[in-house]
Structure 1
Amino acid sequence: MTYFAELSSRQVAALASDARVPVLLLPVGAVEPHGPHAPLGTDPLISRGMCERAAARLAGDPGLRVLILPEVPYGVTRFAAGFAGGVSIGEETLYALLTEICGALTEQGLTRILLVNNHFEPAHLAVLRRVAETADVGFVDLVRRRYAARLTDEFRSGECHAGQYETSLVLADRPDLVDAAVQRGLPAVHVDLARGGVTDFASAGMTEAYCGTPAQATAEEGEKTFSVLTDILVEAIRELV
């Protein structure tokens, strides 16, 4: 079994005596608008996709056992204010939720936990970094240079909210959730969300809650990017162990 919540209580208790070291992956994201073409749950979908692929790749490893925790799909997403579908929670709410989840697990001896996140709003990232430090857990912080340098040009440009990068990943994992007819007709929107001073999508010029070039997204690009993301996550798992 790959999913932690599918185990029985007795099976979880047995992890302590397993020859394989248990590593728990916690997918994190946000429920927010991703243009007129992609699903609100794009970010947690990508996080979950990374976790599932990493778990599959390491399924035969004799030294560790990867388990995927139920995802936390809600995050800090004030940038999406004014668009239908955004569900933002406060920093302290997110911090309390994640630290208490991690604390409940570490108290049971399950100390190797990795936060896997694909929502990059600065306030959200700041919370995850604080959780990683105070709860003493791992965090795959994809915007750090060591990771970002391995991802696509659009990702590094900061024009990657519901653009080619994210839409390609959704097409690779759940193409049924992308409105392809709308996607193919969307013009490029050049807004760098990584630059300072951006406070919300609308005022930054993202009138349809996306930036980048979603019309160029393909499932093939998504599979290649997922492969890189899986490499990154597998390396982080091994570092944690």
Structure 2
Amino acid sequence: MTAFADLTSPQVAELLSGTRTPVLLLPVGAVEPHGPHGPLGTDEVISAGMCGRAAERLSGDPDVRVLVLPTLNYGVTRMGAAFPGAVTVSESTLHALVTEVCGALVAQGFTRIVVVNNHFEPAHVTTLRKAAAEAGVTYLDLVRRHNAARLTEEFRSGSCHAGRYETSLVLADRPDLVDTDTAATLPPVPVDLPAAMAEGKADFVAMGMDRAYCGDPAGASVAEGQSTFDTLTDLLVETIRGVA
């Protein structure tokens, strides 16, 4: 059992009195368009997928007990507002959710919490960094150079919204959510997202993403997704070891 919410209250109490150090993972995503082929919940799928894999990998560890908290599905996501399905919350709402959820757990003695996010809109990331620091918990920052360097070429290029990188990950975890027929017809759309944002472009349309994707979704594969999940899980397990 790796889901925190599946436990009973007495089982939660046992976590704190046991010999294994409890580490809780908080997956964070967003509800936003991911091209004509990918689910709105792509970021959530990736965050929950890597958390579940890390918890399973450490399930028999004698020193650490890892449990996954319910996913926080909503985030700051204004860049896709021109497309149906985008649901944003404000920075203050996201900040309050993360600090209050983590604060409630820390007050009970769960001081080792890792926030795991795969939605990289700058306002969202900045908010999570601040909230984690204020709550006294850890934020696994995948866009930091030392972490990004271990991920795929498309991820490092910055042209990776609903492209090969993200589509491969969803194919590896929830293939039923990907419209593979449509994905196969999509041409590559090279957009350096960090550079575009640095130029002041604030939405997908202005960046040239008129179908809410960039990168190469037609090049996605289950094999790449599985390999990338292995790397993401390595990064998360290393973070868990660091906080435990």
TM-score by length of 2: 0.98
| Structure 1 residue 133, shift from structure 2 partner | 1.1
Counterparts of 2:128 and 2:31 in 1: how far apart (Å)?
Answer: 16
Q: Distance in 2 between matches of 1:176 and 1:194?
A: 30
Paired position in structure 1 for 2:95 = 95
User: Within 2, Cα distance between the matches of 1:115 and 1:181?
Assistant: 34
Shift of 1:18: 0.6
1:223 and 2:238 equivalent? no
Corresponding residue of 1:15: 15
Of 225, 237, 242, which residue of structure 2 is paired with 1:239?
242
- RMSD over aligned CA atoms reads 0.6
Residue 28 of structure 1 corresponds to 28
Q: After TM superposition, give the deviation of residue 190 of structure 1 in Å.
A: 1.1
- Name the SS of the counterpart of 1:123 in structure 2: helix
Distance 1:150 1:190 in 2: 21
Please state if 1:207 is matched with 2:206. Answer: no
Q: Which amino acid aligns with 1:49?
A: G
1:1-241 alignment runs, 5 A limit: 1-195=1-195, 196=198, 197-241=200-244
| Alpha-carbon displacement from aligned partner over 1:145-185 (angstroms, at most 9, x marks no partner) | 11000000100111000000000000000111100110000
Q: Partner letter of residue 173 of structure 1? A: D
SS of 1:72's partner is coil
State the alpha-carbon separation in 1 of the partners of residues 100 and 218 from structure 2: 41
1:42 Cα offset (Å): 0.2
Q: Do the aligned residues in 1 keep the contact of 2:28 with 2:44 (CA within 8 Å)?
A: yes
- After superposition, the C-alpha distances for 1:19-66 in whole angstroms (9 at most, x for unaligned) are 000000000010000000000000010000000100111011000100
Q: Which blocks of at least 5 consecutive residues in structure 2 are unaligned?
A: none
- How much does 1:118 deviate? 0.2
* Whole-Å separation in 1 of the counterparts to 2:193 and 2:206: 12
Deviation at 1:13, TM superposition (A): 1.2
SS at match of 2:168: helix
Uncovered stretches (5+) of structure 1, i.e. residues with no partner:
none
Aligned residue pair count: 241
| Separation (CA, whole Å) in 2 of partners of 1:235 and 1:119 | 21
Query: CA-to-partner distance for each residue in 1:65-103, whole Å, 9 max, x for gaps?
Result: 000000001000000111000000000000001100000
Residue identity in the other structure for 2:162: A
* Secondary structure of the structure 2 residue equivalent to 1:24: strand
Distance (whole Å) between structure 2 residues aligned to residue 73 and residue 176 of structure 1: 19
> Percent identity at matched positions?
64
- Quick one: distance in 2 between partners of 1:54 and 1:47? 11
